[in-house]
Amino acid sequence: MDWEDYDAIGVALAETFPNANHLTISEGDLVRLVLSLPGFTGGTEPDRRALAAVSYAWIAAVEGPDDSSPYESKA
Q: How far apart are CA 27 and CA 72, in angstroms?
A: 30
The CATH T-level fold of domain 6-63 is: Arc Repressor Mutant, subunit A (1.10.10)
Q: How far apart are CA 27 and CA 30, in angstroms?
A: 5
Average pLDDT, the chain: 89
Q: Is 42 helix (H, G, I), strand (E, B) or coil?
A: coil
Confidence class of residue 64 from pLDDT cuts 50, 70 and 90?
confident
Q: How far apart are CA 40 and CA 1, in angstroms?
A: 5
Residues written for the chain: 75
Instruction: Report the candidate in 16, 27, 13 with the shortest Cα–Cα distance to residue 59.
Output: 13
DSSP 8-state class, residue 46: -
Q: Which of 10-19, 20-29, 63-72 is predicted least confidently?
A: 63-72
73 vs 37 pLDDT, higher one: 37
